[in-house]
Amino acid sequence: MTSRQIFGDTANLKASHVRALQRLAERSVPADRVISSALARDVVELATELNRRVGLFIDRRGRVVRVILGDAHSVQVPEFSRVRGVDGRLRGVRLVIAHLVPEAIDREELADLTKLRLDLLAVIHRGPSGLQADLACLVPAKDDAAGAFVTHQWPRATLSALVREDEGVEGPADLPVPFDGFLRDLEARLVAATARSRAQIQGTRAMALLVHDGGPDAAARKAELGELCRTAGLAVVELVEQRRPHPDPRTFFGQGKLRQVLVRALEQDVEVLVCDPELTASQARNISDETELKVIDRTMLILDIFAKHAKSADGKLQVELAQLRYNLPKMVGKGTMMSRLAGGIGGTGPGETKLEIDRRRAKERINDLDRRLGTLRRRREQQRAERRRTHVPVAAIVGYTNAGKSTLLNSVTNSAVDAEDKLFATLDPTVRRLRFPREREIVLLDTVGFIRNLPPALIQAFSATLEEVADADLLLHVVDASDPDQEQQIASVEQILRDLGAARIPRLMVFNKVDAVDPDELKKLMNAPSGGIDATRRFFLSARDRRTTRVLMDAIEDHLWARGRVDRPSRLVDACAGEFVFDHEDEKDPRPAATEGA
């Protein structure tokens, strides 16, 4: 027997006490019993003598495989090579802890039960009538969609009722005796419940954590976080919020709230925790230290969506640059894993740590991407200069993500740009040429959608693309008229336009998706104050119906014509990917199809 079977601080113990702990590690109990009376009595007596809690890990064959020595109020459970069971199966060991006073199972012990997927948790102590036991285990949840399992606790029982060594002893009828049969039935039910729970929700199971101060944008933030998760392929099983002015600087949520969340996440078979707002490196590390769940924040989620939707080489480079710039400050190491040396034979001095190598390679890659994107910036500047030389005006479609910008582009140019009901479905900018009657033509530019608190790393990485917006002659600000948070979305887009230096560019407000708005609500929206934007330049349409865009197209032509920008330009020679003639005479329906706000 080796000392590795004893977990805890034994430095100040007497030699006799260390030998007593070692003897506990050599004990065993019948496989059909949670614990024997003799072993329970000995572990409680030793805990009392040491004035410290003592725990035992017992496998399914009844062998004590680890002895845990805690302090007077808690025990620290050692890590396993794999924290959670597979497909609903349990760990294969039960944990028996001797308390010094008659007290119930505490929150930390229940968290260990859930985190480690233990077969059973038993707390034994000496009470007025002898040894007593509090028991807890995991059982299938009644609602499969809510999670695979929940925690079940039995009423306190005497040890004699639990071990059933004396015939005729009364106790709760559902005590886990015989234990081996009870465990086989329980695990079978847990496996079935886990399969049903996973079938209920498709995708990676995630839990969203939101900190807010209860302001008017709280509901919109919750809805937006849910949409970001859906777009990224995450199935949010629960969204947990905490009202406080700022996230806890150490643990994001408060320590107690975080513990509850982690237990709930493990009960629901969650794999990913998504936090809003952005996590600091220490917050992410502290949350990860509590569990093996993957922890990401809103910015990382947006970057992941961008990575999935990037199709062009330029888009992929910009996404990679944004990810590297965001992750570089967070490369701070974790324990000894990031401190391995890479010097050795042939190296001078101790060499670099793995963390230093990772950071150096990341910086080198960032510099390389900056050079390549500089070439992209120069190429786009040449294209813009060619447009200016040929007097071809540019109208850029901007707006909040999923407002319908790509759908509008498809409708008026008869294109087939990807337009999905997801956030950031369009990542790579799309350019189409649009010809009006009387030999007038413009360039229509579809841009990436904006979002509140757009990560600075994205703005910096996509600067070469976003410069197209600042150089446009006219902006079409598309707004989702059916979104209750449209005012906040408009404000976010306007702020980003100011940051890009595009605040003074003339714009037309295009309220899209009016077919999804109640007629009374639409009337209120049309008559509502413009919030500082010229109310005479607001248009209400459904981008899916091309007929409703006619008034908007007239307004674009009139605006650019008044500025002398569409006076018979020469042929467009840059790399526009398509051409479409917009001629009102092609439309057969004479009804007025769009309305311009009064």
Mean pLDDT, contiguous 10-residue spans, the chain (598 residues): 74 91 92 91 94 94 93 84 63 93 87 86 89 91 65 87 61 75 89 76 83 84 88 87 89 84 79 88 81 83 83 80 83 45 42 71 87 82 75 86 86 74 66 76 82 75 72 89 88 87 88 88 78 63 88 86 54 38 40 43
pLDDT given at position 575: 33
Distance, CA of 492 to CA of 469 (rounded, Å): 16
Cα atoms in the 13 Å half-sphere on the side-chain side of 526: 17
342 token code pair: 């890479």
Distance, CA of 101 to CA of 127 (rounded, Å): 8
491 token code pair: 């404000």
Angstrom distances, CA of residue 172 to CA of 160, 162, 217, 458: 12, 9, 51, 61
pLDDT given at position 444: 86
Name the pTM for this structure: 0.70
pLDDT given at position 529: 66
Give the domains, in start order, of the chain with CATH numbers. 3-198 (no CATH), 201-305 (3.40.50.11060), 380-596 (3.40.50.300)
Distance, CA of 523 to CA of 422 (rounded, Å): 27
pLDDT given at position 584: 40
Q: Which ranges in 268-353 belong to alpha helices (H)?
A: 281-290, 298-309, 313-327
pLDDT given at position 427: 63
565 token code pair: 């920008």
pLDDT given at position 55: 94
Q: Which ranges in 60-125 belong to alpha helices (H)?
A: 107-116
pLDDT given at position 589: 37
Q: Which ranges in 471-543 belong to alpha helices (H)?
A: 486-499, 519-527
Read off the amino acid at residue 298.
R
pLDDT given at position 119: 92
